[in-house]
C-alpha cells in the first residue's frame, strides 16, 4: 500500500507540473490557432496503439483518419487540410499526460480526440481545459468528465443511460433475479459502472448475491470464481475490460459454471474471445453503435462500406464509428463558427442538436453530456459480436 501511495503522489506532482507548464492564458491554444491559420488544421489523437487498451485506440484512430480523408476530399475545413496527429501512450496512465502536453505545446493541435477510456480522459481533461484546447472523447462513458470544464466533450452513450436499460433487460427479459458483480478496483471505468449497475438492480428488486474484486493485470481468478459459484447467481455482470473478462470466463467454465456474462463496452474487443475462446460465447456487451448494414442509416451504410473496403471486409466497431463522428463534429463546429479558434468553436459544438452521426443521433445537453439512443446489446456468437437487441431508452434531458 505504501508503494502505491508514493506512486500516486508522484503522479499527482507530474500532473501539477504539466498544468503549470500550460498556464498563461491558453498560450498553447493560441499557438494552435495560429498554426491553423496556415494550410493545415491539426487534430490530435490520444489513445493506445500498444498495450492492453490498443484495441480501443487503433479503432478510434482508423475512424478519425477516415473522417479526415473524406473532409480533405471535400476541400477540408474552411479551405484548410485536416491532419490527424497521432501518438501512443502505450496504455500507460503515466504516459498519457506527457502525450497530451506534446500534442498541445509541440504539435499545436486545436482539438484532441480521445482518450477512449474514462480514466485517461479525466487525466487529460484538466490539461486541455487549462490550455483552452477542445477535448472530445470517443470512448469515455464513466462519470466526472464534462464537469472538468467547458472545453471537454464526449460523443458516447453514457453508462448512466445504458446500464439501467441493460439491467432491466437482463432482469425482466432474461430472468436474472440473482446477480454476481465483478469489479476491477484499479480501473475508474469499472468502479463507476459497478455503482450504476448496483443502483439499477436495486430499483428492479434484483439481488446482488456476490460482489468480487479483481485488478487490471490479474490472471488468476480462481478464488473469485469459487465465491461466485457458491452464491449460485443467474448471471455475472463484469464491469472491467476485455483482457480480464476473457480470462475470467475461462475460469468460470473451468469450475463448471454454466452462466453468462454481461458488461459494458469495456468488453468490446476481439481480444475477449482470443483470450476466452469458447468460454465467452454468449457474453453480452452493450455499445453505442452496432454495424447493422441492413437497417443502418444512409450515412452509416456508407461508413460501413468504406470501412470494410479498407479492412478486409471486417465490420467497424463502436470506437471506429465514434472516432469518425468526433472529427466530423469538430469539423461541423469549426465551419459554423467560421473559426479554428477553440474558444470560438467550442461554444458552437456545445449547441449541437440531433447530429446525424454514423454511430447514432447525438444531442449535447446544457451540461454538454451526450444524449444517444438506442442501446445496442451485442452477443458473442462464433467469435463475432452479433446484435442481440436494440434497447430504446429515454435519456435524461437535464
156-199: pLDDT as tens digits? 988 988 999 999 999 999 999 999 999 999 998 999 999 999 99
For the stretch 226-234, contacts whose Cβ atoms lie closer than 8 Å and that sit 24 or more positions apart, written own/partner, are 226/255, 228/180, 228/182, 228/252, 228/257, 229/255, 229/256, 229/257, 231/178, 231/180, 232/178, 233/176, 233/178, 233/179, 233/180, 233/209, 233/259, 234/174, 234/175, 234/176, 234/177, 234/178, 234/179, 234/259
18 confidence band (pLDDT: 50, 70, 90): very low
More confident residue, 290 or 100: 100
**Helix ranges, 204-338 (H):** 222-231, 242-254, 271-276, 298-310, 318-337
The CATH homologous superfamily of the domain defined by 160-287+377-391? Response regulator (3.40.50.2300)
Check for a shared fold between 2-157+299-364 and 160-287+377-391: yes
Q: Which of 351, 325, 348, 334 is nearest to 75 (CA)?
A: 334
322-345: pLDDT as tens digits? 999 999 999 999 999 999 999 999
pLDDT at 24: 41
- Asked: is 2-157+299-364 a CATH 3.40.50.2300 domain? The reply is yes
What mean pLDDT is reported for the chain? 90
pLDDT at 67: 98
More confident residue, 320 or 15: 320
2 confidence band (pLDDT: 50, 70, 90): very low
pLDDT at 7: 43
pLDDT at 48: 97
200-253: pLDDT as tens digits? 999 999 999 999 999 999 999 999 999 999 999 999 999 999 999 999 999 999
The reported pTM is 0.75
> Would you list the domain boundaries of the chain?
2-157+299-364, 160-287+377-391
pLDDT at 30: 54
> At residue 33, does pLDDT exceed 70?
no
Amino acid at each position: 500500500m505504501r508503494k502505491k501511495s508514493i506512486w500516486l503522489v508522484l503522479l499527482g506532482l507530474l500532473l501539477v507540473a504539466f498544468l503549470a507548464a500550460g498556464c498563461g492564458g491558453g498560450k498553447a491554444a493560441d499557438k494552435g490557432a495560429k498554426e491553423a491559420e496556415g494550410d493545415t488544421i491539426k487534430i490530435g489523437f490520444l489513445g493506445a496503439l500498444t498495450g492492453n487498451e490498443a484495441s480501443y485506440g487503433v479503432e478510434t484512430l482508423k475512424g478519425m483518419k477516415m473522417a479526415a480523408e473524406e473532409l480533405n476530399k471535400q476541400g477540408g475545413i474552411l479551405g484548410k487540410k485536416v491532419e490527424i496527429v497521432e501518438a501512443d501512450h502505450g496504455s500507460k496512465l503515466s504516459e498519457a499526460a506527457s502525450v497530451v502536453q506534446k500534442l498541445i505545446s509541440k504539435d499545436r493541435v486545436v482539438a484532441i480526440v480521445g482518450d477512449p477510456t474514462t480514466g485517461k480522459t479525466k487525466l487529460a481533461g484538466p490539461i486541455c481545459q487549462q490550455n483552452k484546447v477542445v477535448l472530445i472523447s470517443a470512448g469515455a462513458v464513466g462519470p466526472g468528465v464534462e464537469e472538468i470544464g467547458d472545453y471537454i466533450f464526449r460523443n458516447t452513450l453514457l453508462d448512466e443511460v445504458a446500464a439501467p436499460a441493460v439491467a432491466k433487460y437482463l432482469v425482466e427479459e432474461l430472468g436474472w433475479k440473482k446477480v454476481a458483480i465483478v469489479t476491477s478496483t484499479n480501473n475508474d471505468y469499472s468502479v463507476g459502472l459497478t455503482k450504476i449497475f448496483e443502483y439499477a438492480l436495486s430499483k428492479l428488486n434484483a439481488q446482488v448475491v456476490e460482489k468480487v474484486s479483481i485488478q487490471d493485470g490479474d490472471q488468476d481468478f480462481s478464488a473469485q470464481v469459487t465465491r461466485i459459484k457458491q452464491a449460485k447467481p443467474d448471471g455475472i455482470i463484469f464491469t472491467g475490460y476485455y483482457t480480464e473478462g476473457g480470462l475470467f470466463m475461462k475460469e468460470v467454465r473451468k469450475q463448471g459454471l454454466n452462466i453468462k456474462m454481461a458488461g459494458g463496452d469495456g468488453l468490446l474487443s476481439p481480444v475477449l474471445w482470443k483470450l476466452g475462446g469458447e468460454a465467452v460465447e454468449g457474453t453480452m456487451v452493450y455499445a453505442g453503435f452496432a454495424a447493422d448494414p441492413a437497417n443502418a442509416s444512409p450515412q452509416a451504410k456508407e461508413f460501413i462500406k468504406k470501412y470494410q473496403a479498407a479492412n478486409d471486409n471486417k465490420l467497424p466497431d463502436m470506437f471506429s464509428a465514434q472516432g469518425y463522428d468526433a472529427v466530423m463534429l469538430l469539423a461541423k463546429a469549426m465551419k459554423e463558427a467560421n473559426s479554428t479558434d477553440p474558444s470560438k468553436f467550442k461554444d458552437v459544438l456545445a449547441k449541437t442538436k440531433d447530429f446525424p452521426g454514423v454511430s447514432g443521433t447525438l444531442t449535447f445537453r446544457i451540461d454538454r453530456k451526450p444524449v444517444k439512443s438506442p442501446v445496442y446489446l451485442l452477443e458473442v456468437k462464433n467469435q463475432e459480436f452479433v446484435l442481440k437487441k436494440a434497447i430504446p431508452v429515454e435519456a435524461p434531458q437535464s
